[in-house]
Amino acid sequence: MKHLLICLIIMALPLMAEEMSLGMVTGIKGNSFILVDGLEFSMPGASMGRYIDENNQAVDAASITFPFTASLIVNTDLPAHMRAQTTVVKIHKFYDVVDGRLVERKSP
């Protein structure tokens, strides 16, 4: 029983997190983020979402290029039906593909 309780606690920790890592995002199709190896993560309103950078400054959705690493920031204080509308995507780093390799983009 003790081991089961510890296992359940470990499995529940990501559900309580306010920031969940998406990893490498290679594109957006409708309301889904396309992750590495073609995996899709569906999020209502993804195409109309709010994007911020590492310094919590707004990023213009029109200026976003792929690939990049990102996390979802969820406000857990809001009711569940409002969370999808207020979820924010935090972009950590942008990358360029050079000779088949990912190279971190230099900031201007």
In a domain, 6, yes or no: no
In a domain, 104, yes or no: no
In a domain, 38, yes or no: yes
What are the start-end ranges of the H helices in 17-106? 80-86
Query: Which domain covers residue 28, as residue numbers?
Result: 17-96
In a domain, 86, yes or no: yes
> pLDDT tens-digit profile of 72-86?
887 767 676 666 666
The whole-angstrom separation of Cα 68 and Cα 91 is: 7
pTM of this prediction? 0.76
In a domain, 102, yes or no: no
Average pLDDT of 16-36? 86
CA-nearest of 55, 31, 56 to 44 is: 31
Looking at the 3D structure of the chain, how many domains does it have? 1
In a domain, 11, yes or no: no
pLDDT of residue 16: 61
> pLDDT tens-digit profile of 48-101?
778 999 998 999 888 889 999 999 887 767 676 666 666 789 999 999 999 999
In a domain, 29, yes or no: yes
What is the rounded end-to-end Cα distance, in angstroms, of the chain? 55
